[in-house]
Structure 1
Amino acid sequence: MFVKYSNLYASKKNVLHSTITEAEMKAFFGILILSGYVQLPRRRMFWENSKDTHNEVVSSAMSRDRFEFIMSDLHCCDNSKLSQQDRFAKVRPLFEAINRNFQLFCPVRAAHSVDESMVPYFGCKQFIKGKPIRYGFKIWMGAISSSDCAGYCVWLGSNTQIPTMYKLFGLGPSVVLHYSTVLRQMLSLPYHIFFDNFFTTVPLLEELLRHNIRGTGTVRENRMSKCTVQSKTDMKKTTRGTYDYGSTENKVLIVKWNDNNIVNVATNNLQVDPIHHVSRLQKRKKITVDQPQCIKAYNAFMGGVDRCDENISYYRTSIRGKKCIPV
């Protein structure tokens, strides 16, 4: 894919060039991966003669000018056939290819999480305050949350990829429903998906239940479908560890728990019992407070996407180009 369309793009620029081969493209990506392990201030320093920067593995695999030629012409699609509705059209074939491989080798686990992930880019396509990566492109990610495979990415998506039939539920819920479809196409299992309050609504949990998918997530105060639980103001007046719960007409449980702050969790499968006990620090003394089962499960299995981001950050490619997806 990269060889075909990079050669096509180079030929349309009307510049003299030799055809990029598959071996050269593999060497090119190998250098990019190596730059995550051996980081230098500038990419040209890999080919310098200085003993403290020269890398024999890189210089013997490809010349500097050849690397920069491939870098300038790198493409994975035909620019003349881009979809105007897809903001990620230039990298959509790459998304589809890696998603196929992610799902082909995916371990069979029940617990999954859905969250947003940021691809760093300082051309400022999006800014999210308080995130480890604040500037870049926001993409949706579904990952395994089970402890033995936590952080395995199963699916990458974007807003323009969400099926129209799911958009009636809203942006956040439609992402979760799309991911549930991906899971069901892989293997029919009673999966359990965890997500935060950006995604959670009662209609989403009801729709997941109709497809035999369990779902649990924190929920905002204005999305509780008038469930009969204590208000946030009243709950703040109670002692730490106090909880209250109620259910909707379609068996969606909503639990409100008083911890450092008021926590709201909605689930279509988990229960309040058994009650667990967790340690907290209060006025420099350790105390034990009650914690409902659904909140304990949420804390244990929500971090799949965050773990994936953490793994990527350790060896993130340091060689980057200035090209950007047109939005």
Structure 2
Amino acid sequence: MPSRNNGNLTLVEILEELERLSSSEEDDNEDHIIAETKKRYCSVSRRRLYWSTESDTHNELISNSMRRNRFEEIMRYFYAADNTDLNPDDKFAKVRPFLDILNKNYLSYGKVFGPSTISIDESMMPYFGRHPTKPFIRGKPIRWGYKAWAACTPLGYAFTLDLYQGSNPNEYASEYGLGGKVILNILDTLQAEYPRIKFSLYFDNFFASRKLLEEIKRRGHGAIGTLRANRVEKCPLTINKKFEKLPRASEEHFLKKDSQILVVRWNDNGVVSTGSNEHGTFPMKKVERYSAKEKKKVSVGCPRLIDIYNQNMGGVDRADENICHNRIAIRGIARKPCIGYIVKFKR
């Protein structure tokens, strides 16, 4: 490959160059990604041991596909962006070209999965180094690391991924808050790629508000989201402290006729408030819950929209589960764990 940027090729330049390179060099780059993936479920203490002649560490798949020195040369010069031309306002400028390419592929191949039911949530990548966007989230399985907003199918296929880099106000944030901004930015991306598809979006109470549900309905799409107590606005529902004293499975709802937004409050293990612009309360669904009084599981009534929400909301958690089984980690430079994360999201 030609040498530019003081010997450091950007990922975009590599992808452009692959069209003109010989098949053998194309195979080298493909084999490099395969080797990185293989290392996550067949790991050794040092990566050079994959090319060792010892029977307990030697790996034929890796050693036969690429020479050790060639692999380390690619690792040395692997850059995702031109360091002399970075956007100063983008804290992930070093991986932005790579992320843009992957998001384009996510949307392109997502047609196979029928992109109509989408769950939106945050996803965490473990990282303990220094970076200005690394948050700490108490009570989460991964407390330290990069945070990303992901939109996935119920089976865990990601349609789009956006790395969180702090508050970045825009026209959506001023009216709908940070959570609403994330939802509408993702919806803009999905609408641009699939203009003829009606989406059903599912998200939790960090994002949801009644105003956001109204905006999504105005655009012709459906949504269900759990609501915080201070976001039901002027719905005449029983306050949480009184409602939690009612019998289990108690339910009440309020429909705003002009916007057709339904807000349901249901007493489960705790009080659950949910809003929707496409699904109703009836017919009630029977679900099993453990009764401490009767010492066994009993059937209780559950509003239809809450049951649908529970069936479709776990897409991002499913994607996280798929990733954690064989997480790719490229050590040595702070930007590279981020690359390993979004590569694994693609696979």
TM-score range, shorter chain: 0.7 to 0.9
1:82 — aligned with what? Answer: 86
Structure 1 counterpart of 2:303, from 270, 275, 292: 292
How far the C-alpha of 1:50 sits from its partner, in A, is 2.1
**1:241 has 2:249 as partner:** yes
Structure 1 counterpart of 2:271, from 258, 262, 278: 262
- Measured in 2, the distance between the counterparts of 1:293 and 1:74 equals 50
TM-score by length of 1: 0.88
2:141 — aligned with what? Answer: 132
How far the C-alpha of 1:232 sits from its partner, in A, is 0.5
How far the C-alpha of 1:26 sits from its partner, in A, is 1.9
**1:229 has 2:229 as partner:** no
**Could you tell me which amino acid in structure 2 is paired with residue 97 of structure 1?**
I
Distance 1:133 1:41, change over 3 A: farther
Structure 1 counterpart of 2:314, from 303, 308, 321: 303
- Tell me if the contact between 1:117 and 1:305 (Cα under 8 Å) persists in the aligned partners: yes
- Measured in 2, the distance between the counterparts of 1:133 and 1:9 equals 36
**1:176 has 2:163 as partner:** no
Alignment of 1:1-327 (within 5 A): 7-9=3-5, 11=7, 21-106=25-110, 107-123=113-129, 125-145=134-154, 150-159=155-164, 164-168=170-174, 169-187=176-194, 188-248=196-256, 250-283=259-292, 284-317=295-328, 319-325=329-335
How far the C-alpha of 1:82 sits from its partner, in A, is 0.7
> Aligned residues: percent identity?
35
How far does the alpha carbon of each residue in 1:29-62 deviate from its partner, in whole angstroms, 9 at most, with x for none?
1210111231223322212332111112222333
Unmatched 5+ residue regions in structure 2?
10-16, 19-24, 337-347
- Measured in 2, the distance between the counterparts of 1:266 and 1:282 equals 27
How far does the alpha carbon of each residue in 1:144-177 deviate from its partner, in whole angstroms, 9 at most, with x for none?
12xxxx1111001134698933222211111111
- Measured in 1, the distance between the counterparts of 2:8 and 2:115 equals 46
Unmatched 5+ residue regions in structure 1?
14-18
- Tell me if the contact between 2:8 and 2:77 (Cα under 8 Å) persists in the aligned partners: no
- Tell me if the contact between 1:190 and 1:213 (Cα under 8 Å) persists in the aligned partners: yes
RMSD of aligned residue pairs (Cα, Å): 2.4
- Measured in 1, the distance between the counterparts of 2:71 and 2:8 equals 19
**Could you tell me which amino acid in structure 2 is paired with residue 25 of structure 1?**
N
- Measured in 1, the distance between the counterparts of 2:214 and 2:191 equals 17
- Measured in 2, the distance between the counterparts of 1:225 and 1:59 equals 62
- Measured in 1, the distance between the counterparts of 2:73 and 2:135 equals 29
- Measured in 1, the distance between the counterparts of 2:165 and 2:127 equals 20
1:16 — aligned with what? Answer: none
**Could you tell me which amino acid in structure 2 is paired with residue 79 of structure 1?**
N
- Measured in 2, the distance between the counterparts of 1:198 and 1:138 equals 14
Q: How many residue pairs were aligned?
A: 312
How far the C-alpha of 1:323 sits from its partner, in A, is 1.4
- Measured in 2, the distance between the counterparts of 1:320 and 1:159 equals 20
Q: Secondary structure at the match of 1:90?
A: coil
2:344 — aligned with what? Answer: none
How far the C-alpha of 1:191 sits from its partner, in A, is 0.8
- Tell me if the contact between 1:163 and 1:178 (Cα under 8 Å) persists in the aligned partners: no
**Could you tell me which amino acid in structure 2 is paired with residue 142 of structure 1?**
A
TM-score by length of 2: 0.83
